[in-house]
Amino acid sequence: MSWQSYIDTLKTADQSGVVPVAEAAICGISPGQESVWVSTPGLANITPDEIKKLGSTDRSSFAQNGVYIGGTRCRLIRDQMDLDPVYALDLKTAADADGNTFGVCVGKSKTAIVIVKGTKDASGGQLSSKAFNVVSHLRKSNM
């Protein structure tokens, strides 16, 4: 399976028939090799520093300072990145020029993070479910 096929899978309809994921990325988190492996255009500008922070075990500043993804500031909703089998952060973007905010879920496998940004109406549960399925597969594949 190519990395692009994971993005294609993330962008399919869920059990309700709705496509909740607007943007997605899979990024490598190995120290010194933080990079975007594959992404949709809206998340192509994620920086190595942002990847390093998202994949870090020290996320203590996220609650107070937020975190950036592709230059967009996000606030922390829930940190379950170290909780088996969840391995995820739930975030919300800062409001855009039109006042819209979007849910973001970041899941972590052993070597990668999976980032999904929702559509305007997507719920956190829809995004978490999508990210969980890919992260679970990667973890079972020892990736």
115: tokens are 């980032």
Domain contains 31? yes
Domain contains 17? no
**In this structure, are residues 135 and 143 in contact, taking their beta carbons and an 8 Å threshold?**
no
C-beta atoms surrounding 107 within 10 Å: 27
Helices 3-10 and 124-140 cross at an angle (nearest 10°) of 150
The pTM assigned to this predicted structure is 0.94
Domain contains 16? no
Q: With left for phi above 0 and alpha for psi between -120 and 50, is residue 13 left, alpha or beta?
A: beta
| Domain total of the chain | 1
Mean pLDDT (whole number) for 107-114: 96
Q: How confident is the model at residue 2 (pLDDT cuts 50, 70, 90)?
A: confident
The residue segments making up the domain with residue 75 are: 3-11+22-140
The alpha carbon of 58 is separated from its chain's Cα centroid by a whole number of angstroms, namely 17
With tokens 């973001």, the residue in question is: 104
- The pLDDT of residue 1 is 55
pLDDT in tens, 26-47: 999 999 999 999 999 999 999 9
